[in-house]
Structure formats: C-alpha cells, structure tokens
C-alpha cells in the first residue's frame, strides 16, 4: 500500500502529498424511475431524467479523459452544485473534486460563495453528506472508543496516528472531553508507511485502548500482526479528504477541525 495523500495533478499520477493540516501525511436503486413515454412526459420526471443522463455522460467523459492521460481515477458519483454547470465528483480512494459539465476541466480546492455575512464553502454540505454515509458504515468494533462520562451528548470520529504530536495533545485531554458528554471514536490513519506497523500493533492488541494509551505516550509496543482494518480506515480517510491528523468529524459528517481544546470542541458541537 502506498501512503500518499491523493490530489489530482494532470501532469503526473493522481496521488501526491498535499499541504499540512495539524500533523501532515508523510507520504441507487431508490433514484431510479420508470421509463418516460411520449404520453407521460411529466415535467419533474423529465427534468430528473435529463439530470441523470447529464451526470452519466459526465462520469463517462471523465473516465475517458483520466484513462487517456494515465490517471487511475474511478468516478463513484457526481452531483450538481449550486454553481451553474459545475459538479461535485466523488472519486475512489482520493478526495473529491469539481468538474465542469462538459468534463473538460476539473478544479481542486474550495469554491466560496460571497454575498452573505459569512463565507460559504460550496462543497461543505456535499462532502458532509458523503462523509456521513461513509462513517455510518463503520463497525464500532473496528474503532477505539472512549465513552462519554454520564449521558452521551455527542459522538465524534477522530482520524489519529500515535506518531502525531497534535494527536498526543488531544489525547491528553480525553478525560475532559469525555466529561463533557462527548464520546470519541478513533479511526486509524497512519501518516506514512513507516507508521503502519505501530498502528497495526495497536489494532491487533487484545486491549486496543490500553495499547493506544501506551503508544501515544511513546512507549514501545511489541510488534503484532493480524487481520485488521487499518488500511481500510486509511483509505476511508482519503475518500473523506483527510490530509493530516487529528481530523475530527461529527456524526453528520461535518469536519470540525484538527486539534481542538475540549472547550472548542464542545462549542463547535453545540453550535
């Protein structure tokens, strides 16, 4: 497995390292409708069908363009954005990008709407929707869970790596975080291939929480291997756009930030 942060650069391969964020990376059927006939061209249905056809054409076009320049990108889904003729494109094992409706241009980064009192990132709700679905598919048994003290008010998912100083700092405040009614669910996200063995040793321990507590204190763990979810969790992070640790998300898939104090985390969860 190659541990790189995926980012589209047409002149080269699709996977490459990106900017730092806290501790950086080191290296339906329900939507189907009955076919329309000439005698039943309902306006809403025709509009939906036209949009689905446009999305499928875009998926095909992007696939052809990626293949032509040797980019191993698989398009999972496209969704229209609030910007005319601009789509949000979900890619397998890498961050989402924007694409023009004709498939000739892709855009990385943020597109921000102006005009309101606050700036609005066009992709926020689209990415959160994808993230929520991905997080809901996680098996809690595959995570390291620190339960809330008393009533659970919030649950957060945190992509973490025991080699990351900011993850150490966050973990130091775990008791305070839990005391605020916040349950923390850790997801493995080794920032480089060299950190993979330690994270696997943690996840292969009979007591993951105890092993994580030791590893985060820089204590040496005995090497351990087993069938584990670490690589799958790393790929999950790529799909969600993770580019460093810690990366904190709420249950709705909204990115809350990197390192946050217990007070900052509580405030963001309650807003």
Q: Are residues 231 and 144 part of one domain? A: yes
Which position has the higher pLDDT, 179 or 39?
179
191 is catalytic: yes
Which one is catalytic: 5, 167, 185, 266? 167
29 is catalytic: no
> How does the average pLDDT of the chain come out, rounded?
85
CATH number at residue 161: 3.40.30.10
Q: Which residues contact 70 (CB under 8 A, 6 or more apart)?
A: 13
What number of CA atoms fall less than 13 Å from residue 67's CA on the CB side? Answer: 8
Which one is catalytic: 5, 23, 185, 191? 191
Residue 108, domain member (yes or no): yes
116 is catalytic: no
Q: Are residues 160 and 77 part of one domain? A: no
Structural domain tally of the chain?
2
What number of CA atoms fall less than 13 Å from residue 172's CA on the CB side? Answer: 11
The pLDDT confidence band at residue 50, using thresholds 50, 70 and 90, is confident
pTM score? 0.76
Q: Which of 122, 156, 182 is the last residue of a domain?
A: 122
77 is catalytic: no
Which one is catalytic: 161, 185, 208, 266? 161
120-168 pLDDT per residue, tens: 888 888 999 999 999 999 999 999 999 999 999 999 999 999 999 999 9
How far apart (Å, rounded) are the C-alpha atoms in residues 85 and 58?
Answer: 11
99-122 pLDDT per residue, tens: 999 999 999 888 999 988 888 888
Q: Which of 91, 122, 153 is the last residue of a domain?
A: 122
* Residue 88 scores a pLDDT above 50: yes
State what percent of residues in the chain have pLDDT above 90: 68
Residue 231, domain member (yes or no): yes
Nearest CA among 87, 63, 59, 83 for reference residue 73: 63
Q: Which of 96, 122, 148 is the last residue of a domain?
A: 122
* Residue 169 scores a pLDDT above 60: yes
Q: Which residues contact 9 (CB under 8 A, 6 or more apart)?
A: 16
Q: Are residues 255 and 154 part of one domain? A: yes
Q: Domain range for residue 196?
A: 140-270
Q: Are residues 169 and 105 part of one domain? A: no
The pLDDT confidence band at residue 92, using thresholds 50, 70 and 90, is confident
């Amino acid at each position: 497995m190659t541990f790189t942060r995926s980012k589209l650069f047409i002149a080269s391969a699709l996977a490459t390292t990106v900017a730092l964020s806290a501790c950086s990376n080191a290296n339906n059927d329900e939507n189907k409708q009955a076919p329309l006939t000439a005698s039943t061209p309902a306006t809403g249905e025709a509009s939906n069908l036209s949009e689905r056809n446009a999305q499928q054409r875009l998926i095909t076009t992007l696939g052809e363009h990626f293949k032509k320049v040797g980019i191993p990108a698989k398009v999972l889904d496209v969704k229209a954005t609030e910007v005319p003729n601009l789509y949000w494109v979900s890619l397998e094992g890498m961050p989402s990008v924007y694409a023009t409706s004709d498939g000739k241009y892709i855009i990385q980064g943020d597109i921000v709407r102006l005009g309101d009192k606050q700036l609005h990132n066009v992709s926020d709700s689209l990415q959160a929707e994808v993230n929520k679905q991905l997080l809901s598919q996680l098996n809690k048994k595959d995570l390291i869970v620190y339960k809330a003290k008393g009533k659970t008010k919030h649950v957060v998912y945190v992509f973490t790596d025991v080699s990351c100083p900011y993850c150490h700092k966050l973990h130091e405040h775990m008791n305070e975080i839990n005391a605020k009614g916040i349950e923390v669910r850790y997801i493995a996200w080794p920032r480089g291939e060299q950190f993979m063995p330690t994270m696997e040793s943690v996840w292969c321990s009979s007591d993951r929480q105890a092993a994580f507590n030791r590893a985060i204190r820089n204590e040496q763990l005995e090497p351990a291997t087993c069938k584990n979810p670490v690589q799958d969790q790393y790929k999950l992070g790529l799909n969600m756009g993770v580019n460093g640790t810690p990366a904190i998300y709420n249950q709705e898939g909204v990115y809350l930030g990197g390192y946050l104090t217990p007070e900052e985390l509580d405030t963001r969860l309650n807003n």
